[in-house]
């Protein structure tokens, strides 16, 4: 015979499973996609290249601009674009390095130093403009996500492109000037490693405080045992699978709330 306590435990278990299973399904959901498609678009007098993925069907779909690390538009970045496309977004990974991809840290450092900040931002703004021309994209539902150097550019793009609805910054350098922050219209999500010696927990706290001071909500998280580039499995000594899974889920939830709803 089931006692009242047993009934309560069964009810609690059913409630837990009912609440958790949809989240698990969302995390693993994969829609059929098309791509990769090599595309090009104009930034002033220059031609910019990128790789496009999109869900199958007529759409229209929300879109996410994908911004690469200091390594360039390599396979890992394309995998991130593909991952978000499988969650129902048109994704465009922009090539900021004009076809070059670094094979070692020295080359990555050289390529990053050779990229003027204003040119990188203009390439990304051109990518946003290109997405808006696609008939299967919702032009008022565009976001951006970047990692490392790309996280820094995601921060700068949030300031420079007021039409963005949502921006995810993964261990990128942060802005704290209230004048610049006041130009941001997008919702902001940030994922950082507390052991990162470049973007420290104090930097993250200062950014969050500066955003809150101007009345702009922001969602940032420091992972206590993670360092810089903890989401990239090519980082053999610093990759953290569990933290990456959590950061990815935070982004899935964030973009679903800001771009789909």
Tell me the per-residue pLDDT of 118-129, one tens digit each, with 9 for 90 and over: 999 999 999 999
pLDDT at 251 over 70: yes
Mean pLDDT of 16-39: 61
Q: Is the pLDDT of residue 159 over 50?
A: yes
Which pLDDT value is given to residue 29? 59
Domain 33-260 has CATH 3.40.50.1820: yes
pLDDT at 16: 34
pLDDT value, residue 167: 98
Would you say residue 112 has pLDDT above 50?
yes
Mean predicted confidence (pLDDT) in 165-185: 97
Every domain of the chain and the residues it spans: 1-30, 33-260
Instruction: Tell me the average pLDDT across 41-67.
Output: 96
When mean pLDDT is compared across 12-21, 73-82, 146-155, 228-237, the lowest value belongs to 12-21
Condensed to tens digits (0 to 9), the pLDDT of residues 203-247 reads 999 999 999 999 998 999 999 999 999 999 999 999 999 999 999
> Mean pLDDT across the chain, nearest whole number?
90
Distances (CA, A) of 117 to 16, 153, 160: 48, 8, 12
DSSP 178-243: HHHHTT--SEEEEEEETT-SSS-HHHHHHHHHHHHHTT--EEEEEETT--TTTT-TT-TTT--HHH
Q: Give kind and range of the element (H or E) at residue 111.
A: helix 105-113
């Amino acid at each position: 015979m089931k006692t009242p306590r047993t009934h309560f435990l069964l009810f609690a278990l059913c409630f837990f499973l009912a609440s958790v299973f949809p989240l698990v399904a969302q995390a693993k959901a994969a829609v059929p996609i098309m791509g990769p498609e090599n595309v090009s678009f104009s930034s002033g007098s220059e031609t910019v290249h990128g790789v496009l993925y999109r869900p199958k069907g007529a759409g229209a779909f929300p879109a996410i601009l994908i911004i690469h690390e200091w390594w360039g538009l390599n396979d890992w970045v394309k995998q991130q674009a593909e991952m978000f496309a499988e969650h129902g977004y048109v994704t465009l990974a922009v090539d900021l390095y004009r076809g070059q991809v670094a094979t070692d840290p020295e080359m990555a450092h050289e390529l990053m130093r050779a990229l003027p900040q204003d040119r990188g931002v203009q390439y990304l703004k051109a990518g946003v403009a290109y997405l808006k021309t696609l008939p299967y994209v919702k032009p008022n539902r565009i976001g951006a996500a970047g990692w490392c150097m790309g996280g820094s550019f995601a921060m700068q793009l949030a300031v420079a492109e007021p039409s963005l609805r949502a921006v995810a910054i993964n261990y990128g350098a942060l802005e704290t000037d209230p004048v610049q922050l006041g130009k941001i219209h997008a919702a902001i999500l940030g994922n950082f490693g507390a052991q990162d010696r470049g973007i420290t927990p104090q930097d993250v706290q200062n950014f969050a405080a500066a955003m809150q001071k101007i009345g702009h909500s922001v969602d940032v998280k420091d992972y206590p045992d993670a360092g810089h580039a903890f989401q990239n499995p090519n980082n053999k000594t610093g990759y953290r699978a569990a933290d990456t899974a959590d950061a990815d889920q935070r982004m899935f939830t964030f973009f679903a709330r800001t771009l789909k709803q």
